[in-house]
Chains A and B, each alone.
Chain A
Amino acid sequence: MSLFLHLAWRNLWRNARRSSITLAAIAFAVLMVALQDGLQEGTYTANIKAAIRLSSGYLQIQHPAYHNKPALRHSIAYSDELRRKVDSVDAVVAYAPRIYADGLLSFGDQSMGALIVGVDVQREPLVSDYHKKIRDGRFPAEDKPFEIVVGQTLLQNLGAKIGDSLVVLAQGFDGYLGNLFFTIVGTTKTGSEDLDRMSVFMPLAGAQELLGMWGRCSVLAIELPRLNDIPETKRALTAALSENQLAVLAWDEVLASLKQLIEFDQISSEIQMLLLVLVVAFGILNTILMSISERYQEFGIMLSIGMSNSRLVAIIALEVVMLAILGIFIGDLLALGLNSYFSVNPIELGGEMMELYEEYGFLPMLKSSVEPSIFIKASVECLVFTLLAALFPLWKVYKLEPLKGIRYT
């Protein structure tokens, strides 16, 4: 057996140039696939985490009808029982009740529509990054229910400034129109143009007062340690809340359009990579065919002295596998280097790319990832394609007759 190994190994280096080209092609394919997947994985994860921290949370507990019709009557009771049940689930790091409602801001003779976000001033920072998005001023104080933070564009449009008071009008839980004075204590710059143009943040108590929602909230946003904890925790929460007529939604259900965007992007680049690997595979097919047809004479000798075709096929397959493994190893190594670099040093996008990304609500950057699954997928994909490329040449060897190669006259 070891002689066959030697034979295969030495055969590889007989035409070192060709083997190197094949090696480089395989390594290149692995590198491209792993880099592409790494950048996607890293960028998606960064965006998903940003979206989670900016709006959905990892999981949300809602009224079953809320997702399709987010009205106040589809709010939920923020009860001790609910808190106890959520607390009983291990992976839950923190949770925060939120109220979402449509309202009207009135300042001087200006009025503008706004998205009211009522947050638990103490709990919210454990779940979202709203408190970090304060541009001027501060977040509302816990014991001041009628302080409000206004998105910076919205504030400009109103012509108001920090310290001013404004009136917030909204239709409450019971249908009556509520209106209350709030004092502007800060402005946000979230990075999301929509949020900055539309939203105001106020303490939960203020929102409950305004909307007649005492003891209630629209959703409960839940923080988890990692994205991978989502499916398991969602199951556990659903089980814990089975008697409560509540729905547990993951971020990708709450933000279904982001999920769709990612999936679409994934599919299109998957196709691109598949085409690239296919092209490389054809190149490999060619070099294998060449290296085989050059050796018909010695294959003929081997078959003549009693080697079976299947054994000859095994040797050639061994050559291909050695080359593939070596190429994959090199490709993975290069990809690991680049992916590590770009996971620590994201590429900041500027100009048109930046605008395009922001238009789709993406962070304007490319970040990579060194998740092992990325390298495994790239390796397996390229190994499979290399072996597929070898099938036809191997079949030719399997059908080779000894005399085909030995003809002198």
Chain B
Amino acid sequence: MEIIRTVDVERTYEDKGVPVHAVNGVNLIVEQGEFSVLAGASGSGKTTLLNVIGALDVPTRGEVFLHGEALSQKAGNELSAIRLTKIGFVFQAYNLIPVLSALENVSFPMVLQGVAASERRERAMAILDELDLAGLAHKRPGAMSGGQQQRVAVARAIVTNPALVLADEPTANLDSVTGHKLLDMMLRLNEEKKITFVFASHDEKVIARAKRLVTMRDGQIINDELRDGVFT
């Protein structure tokens, strides 16, 4: 099933009067169950493309379809609702709300969705358990390591059962071992629960795990290949 389709997407920034074509005509389809990595040198447009896909940024031209619906037709609060229900985000660092515990952070999207307190707690606890993070439930981000914070962020991203999880350089601030551990976890979620992941990363560890590798340069896709022929 198709989740994302971009059609001739362009995103141009104005930098002191000079236009910067951060994304410059991208056509990309993301299917259910993918574990894909947008790779490319720094400044090649990975983050910008990921943000456009995630309804955080609006393309200058072209169109993004999520589950067949054109995002350009949506108002600001509708985009908020789409991000809340259909997309999970994991950023490079500092994903968590500092004054909330891990449990509360994971519960947060459900609070926004209006899920009842008891169910919230149950579901958040279940996810933390499943990801071996139960011990962190009552810790605040400040008392966690970077890797722990990133894993709690993944828990928060998937707790609403989104259509896809977008992760922008999720390993960039982690050491190699911790980075691998995070990727193991995400790969397991992809394989066991069929959660769709799209990464933007130039980290070799991430690229090595990609089932589909989309390489960008100067805002364009220059290569798009399936690895291991794993998915259908």
CB pair B92–A408 under 8 Å, yes or no, is: yes
**CA–CA, A297 to B98, complex, Å?**
11
Considering the complex, which residues of chain A in the window 1-30 have a beta carbon less than 8 Å from any beta carbon of chain B? Answer: 2-4, 6-7, 10-11, 14
What 10 A-B pairs come out closest when comparing CB atoms? A306-B84, A10-B99, A306-B83, A308-B80, A408-B92, A3-B111, A304-B89, A402-B56, A306-B80, A308-B77
Tell me the B131-188 residues at the A interface (CB within 8 Å): 156-157, 169, 172
**Residues of the B chain whose Cβ atoms lie less than 8 Å from the Cβ of A14:** 98-99
In the complex the two chains form, what is the Cα distance from A408 to B96 in whole Å? 15
Contact across chains for B81 and A306 when beta carbons are under 8 A apart: yes
- List chain A residues, Cβ under 8 A from B104: 3, 6
Contact at A305–B77, with CB atoms within 8 Å?
no
- Give 19 A-B pairs besides A7-B97, A306-B87, A307-B112 with Cβ atoms closer than 8 angstroms: A2-B117, A3-B100, A3-B107, A6-B99, A6-B100, A7-B100, A10-B99, A11-B99, A301-B96, A305-B83, A305-B89, A305-B108, A305-B157, A306-B83, A306-B109, A307-B80, A310-B77, A403-B56, A408-B92
Within 8 A of A (CB), among B34-51: 42, 47, 51
The answer to whether B7 has its CB under 8 Å from any CB of chain A is no
- Interchain CB contact under 8 A, A305 and B84: yes
A297 cross-chain contacts in B, Cβ below 8 A: 94
Q: How far is the CB of A363 from chain B (nearest CB, A)?
A: 55
Whether B94 and A301, one on each chain, are in contact in the complex, defined by CB atoms closer than 8 angstroms, is: yes
- Chain A residues within 8 Å of B169, by CB: 408
A367 to chain B, nearest CB (A): 47
Pairwise interchain contact A406-B57, C-beta atoms closer than 8 A? no
Interchain CB contact under 8 A, B91 and A298:
no
Q: Is A309 located at the chain interface by the 8 A CB criterion?
A: yes
Residue of A304, A402, A406 with highest tally of chain B CB at under 10 A:
A304
Q: How large is the interface on B (under 10, 10 to 19, 20 to 34, 35 or more residues)?
A: 35 or more
* Interface pairs (28), CB distance under 8 Å: A4-B111, A7-B99, A7-B100, A10-B99, A297-B94, A298-B97, A301-B95, A302-B97, A303-B80, A304-B54, A304-B56, A305-B84, A305-B88, A305-B109, A305-B156, A305-B157, A306-B81, A306-B84, A307-B80, A307-B112, A308-B80, A309-B76, A402-B56, A403-B51, A403-B56, A408-B92, A408-B172, A409-B42
Bound-state CA distance A406–B95 (Å) is 10
Q: Which of A7, A307, A310, A406 contacts B91 (CB 8 A)?
A: A406
Chain A interface residue bracket vs B:
20 to 34
- Interface residue ranges of B96-134 to A (CB < 8 Å): 96-100, 104, 107-109, 111-112, 117
| B109 and A403 contact, CB distance less than 8 A | no
> Within 8 Å of chain B (Cβ to Cβ): is A377?
no
A3's nearest neighbour on chain B, judged by CB, is B111
The interface bits of chain A over 280-308 (1 if a CB of B lies within 8 angstroms of the residue's CB, else 0) are: 00000000000000000110011111111
Nearest opposing residue in chain B for A297, CB measure:
B94
Closest Cβ–Cβ distance, residue B203 to chain A (whole Å): 13
B32 within 8 A of A: no
Chain A: CB-nearest residue to B98: A298
A209 to chain B: closest CB distance in Å?
87
Q: Does any Cβ of A come within 8 Å of B3's Cβ?
A: no
Identity of the chain B residue whose Cβ is nearest the Cβ of A298 in the assembled complex: B97
Answer whether residue B190 sits at the interface, using C-beta atoms and an 8 A cutoff. no
Chain B proximity of A360: nearest CB distance (Å)? 56
Contact of B85 among A3, A6, A306 (CB under 8 A): A306
Shortest CB distance B98–A (Å) = 7
Cα A302 to Cα B98 in complex, Å, equals: 12
Q: Tell whether B189 is near chain A: CB-to-CB under 8 Å.
A: no
Contacts of A409 in B (CB 8 A): 42, 47
Nearest Cβ distance between residue B49 and chain A, in whole angstroms?
13
A-chain residues with CB within 8 Å of residue B107 when the two chains form the complex: 3
Q: Are A298 and B94 touching (Cβ within 8 A)?
A: yes
Assess whether B93 is interfacial by the CB under 8 Å rule.
Answer: yes
Q: Which residues of B contact A132 (CB under 8 A)?
A: none
Does A396 sit at the interface, judged by CB under 8 A?
Answer: no
A10 to B140, CA, bound (A): 12
In the docked arrangement, what's the CA distance between A93 and B87, Å?
78
Instruction: Assess whether A311 is interfacial by the CB under 8 Å rule.
Output: yes
Cβ–Cβ < 8 Å partners of A309 in chain B:
76, 80
In the complex, what residues of B have CB within 8 A of residue A6's CB?
A: 99-100, 104
| Inter-chain contacts of B83 with A (CB < 8 A) | 304-306
